[in-house]
Amino acid sequence: MMDLETMGTRPGSVILSIGAVTFDPKTGDIGSAPFYATITSASCIDAGLTVDPATRKWWKRQSIEARAAVTRDTRPLREVAQAFREWFRASGATFVWGQGASFDPPLWEVASRAVGIEPPWRFWNIRDTRTVYHLCDFDDKALPREGTYHNALDDARHQVLCVAAALAQLRKVGERA
C-alpha cells in the first residue's frame, strides 16, 4: 500500500511525502519494514512538477502534526524515487495499492519518471482501495483511525486495515449465501 501527500491532485504535482507498507490483503498483516520519506519541494519543482494553489490553501488548514511531518528530514525527489524503487523490489511486492486508481500510483509514476526513475511495478499490477470498498459496500470512515491524518505512512497503514476489513465483510456475506 502506497500513500502520497502532494501539492495537487493531478499527475505532475509536487510530492511532499511517500509512505508504503507491504501487506496481506486477506489478513491485513503488515510487513515489518515500511518505507517513508519526505521530499524537498524545490527538487520536485526543478523536475517540472507543479503546485496547485487550492491544495496549498488546503494544507494550511491541516493539523500541525501533518504539516510538520512533510517538512521534516526532506530529501531530493531523485534520491527518494531510487530508494523507493529499491525498497519495493527488495520487498518482493508485485502489486502496488493506492487510495484511488487515478491518484497515488499515477502521481508517483509521473514524479518518478520526471527524475529518470521508472516505477518498480507493471501497469497491470496497480490495485485500488476504493474499488474494493465499493464492491464490498464498505465505509472506510467507519473504521477507527490511528496515527495522524495526512501522514503518508499512517494513511497507508490505515488503508491496509480498511481493505482487509472490507474483504472480511465480503467473505461474511459469501458465507451466509
- Dihedral of the alpha carbons of 154, 160, 161, 166, in degrees to the nearest 10: 140
pLDDT tens-place string over residues 23-41: 999 899 999 999 999 999 9
pLDDT tens-place string over residues 96-121: 999 998 999 999 999 999 999 999 99
Homologous superfamily in CATH for domain 2-176 = Ribonuclease H-like superfamily/Ribonuclease H (3.30.420.10)
pLDDT of residue 26: 87
List CB contacts of 25: < 8 A, sequence separation 6 or more.
97, 160, 163, 164, 167
For residue 128, what is the DSSP state? E
- Count of helix runs (H) and strand runs (E) in the chain: 7, 6
- Give a three-class secondary structure readout of 136-165: CCCCCCCCCCCCCCCCHHHHHHHHHHHHHH
Pairing of strands 96-98, 2-6: unpaired
Check pLDDT > 70 for residue 163.
yes
The pTM of this model reads 0.95
The enclosing H or E element of 4 equals strand 2-6
pLDDT tens-place string over residues 59-99: 999 999 999 999 999 999 999 999 999 999 999 999 999 99
Domain ranges within the chain, ordered by starting residue:
2-176
Check pLDDT > 70 for residue 177.
no
